[in-house]
Amino acid sequence: MASRLNNLAAFHQKLAKADRILAICGAGLSAASGLPTFRGAGGLWRNYEATDLATPEAFAEDPGLVWLFYAYRRHMALQTKPSAGHHALAALAKKRPNFLCLTQNVDNLSPRAGHPASQLRTLHGSLFTLKCSSPSCSYVEPSNTSDPLCPSLAPASVDPPDPSQPGKIPLLDPSHPLPTIQPSSLPQCPRCASSGTSSLLRPGVVWFGESLDPSMLSEIDAWIDQGPIDLILVVGTSSVVYPAAGYAERARTKGHTSVVTVNKEVEKVMWRKGEDLAFQGGAEEWLGRMLEPVIGGVTPGIFNRVEDGLGPVFVHVVR
């Protein structure tokens, strides 16, 4: 098994023969940008489990609290930059037209890295899409990067005086009471307002208990069914959230497909077949080296110096 761990030569042999490539990416891809995962250490936001706030029930009970949580995540995502891993996958997409990337991330870093939209599927939506919370309204507003989103959410856009201690800002300090936000001061749906009704806008992400976009899932299934897939890259995900967790095996052609895992905790996501490989470490550490024969040489850190007009690299955050 050791020969299948961190074996660049073996991977490059597979890459040279690969035409159809699928990537399945999770929060670990964005960890190098300063956006840690929900699970494990860093899963708390104030004294709340982050996953408990990502539900329709939480939004119905306290939309102000949920919006503060998501406004903070929007702010953090806007303050950081795509990592070397994001850029390496974007470069692969531009070189290989038969490459498709499925990301569970909602931070918009892959598009900001230049990943072509036609080769990227954002399974769980985007922090920067707003949509009406009313089931009878289909209003959607994409690519809203306002920060703060509205005056009542301005506390979520305050930066700590010491970037190494984000918990010093009042919003993240549980000893500081959160401001009470009335629903009337949160983002409102303009379509509903024009018809004389009142509905809140909500983040355009897929919350726990909600279904993914069926048309997007059909597109992914159709792409997988076009023919055998040579390589499946499983990057920065523990493969426990479905349907993303099932795509590696769904897309595997027996005796043909190699599943290649890139994860800091690779022992928790062990390879299953003899043709599979694994790389222990971050996507920013490995993807550039792994994909170098296709995308060219990578100078360490060069991707993180690419300017995209959205400010400097920021800080470690609690996601």
Residue of 124, 176, 256, 316 with catalytic role: 124
137 is in an annotated binding site: yes
**9 φ, ψ to 5°?**
-60, -45
132 is in an annotated binding site: yes
Those residues with Cβ within 8 angstroms of residue 196's Cβ, 6 or more apart along the chain or in another chain: none
Active site residue 124: yes
189 is in an annotated binding site: yes
150 is in an annotated binding site: no
Binding-site residues: 132, 137, 189, 192
**Active-site residue numbers?**
124
Binding-site residues for Zn(2+): 132, 137, 189, 192
